[in-house]
């Protein structure tokens, strides 16, 4: 196993590291809200065609769009940021499977690429999970 000290040193808590991580969170939130959720939520023809091909129709399209938008917003809320990153990662695993099975792997790399910074956020912001638990237990 890897010593805890070496894991902690891999994610420095310096000011620059915190700013860089927050910048990644904001960029991902913008991506999920504008580039990914919005086309689904406004019924863009490309999104409609893709979800029809998957067999999920408009209900699936709007559901996935709403989940992506909720995840984008939650990435910006300190108490939710780690949970949001985990949830969006799970959504990306599903997207990867759909890309491979339904679309022949056409854009399968995209969800995998997005998982990398999401896992980093989930790990680096894992302390917010304790705060969330405290809120839930009230």
What pLDDT, in 10s, does the model give residues 14-72? 889 999 999 999 999 999 999 999 999 999 999 999 999 999 999 999 999 999 999 99
Token pair 């995209």: residue: 110
Tokens of 36: 């990914």
What pLDDT, in 10s, does the model give residues 106-119? 899 999 999 999 99
Q: Using CA atoms, how far apart are residues 130 and 107, in angstroms rounded to an integer?
A: 36
pTM above 0.75, yes or no: yes
In this structure, how many other beta carbons lie within 10 angstroms of the beta carbon of residue 101? 11
């Amino acid at each position: 196993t890897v010593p805890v000290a070496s894991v902690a040193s891999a994610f420095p808590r310096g000011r620059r590291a915190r700013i860089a991580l927050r910048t990644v969170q904001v960029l991902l939130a913008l991506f999920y809200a504008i580039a990914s959720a919005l086309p689904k939520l406004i019924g863009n023809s490309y999104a409609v065609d893709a979800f029809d091909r998957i067999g999920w129709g408009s209900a699936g399209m709007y559901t996935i769009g709403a989940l992506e938008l909720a995840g984008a917003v939650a990435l910006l809320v300190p108490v939710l940021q780690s949970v949001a990153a985990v949830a969006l990662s799970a959504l990306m695993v599903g997207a990867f499977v759909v890309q491979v099975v339904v679309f022949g792997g056409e854009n399968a790399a995209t969800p995998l690429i997005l998982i990398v910074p999401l896992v980093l956020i989930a790990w680096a912001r894992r302390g917010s999970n304790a705060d969330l638990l405290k809120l839930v237990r009230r």
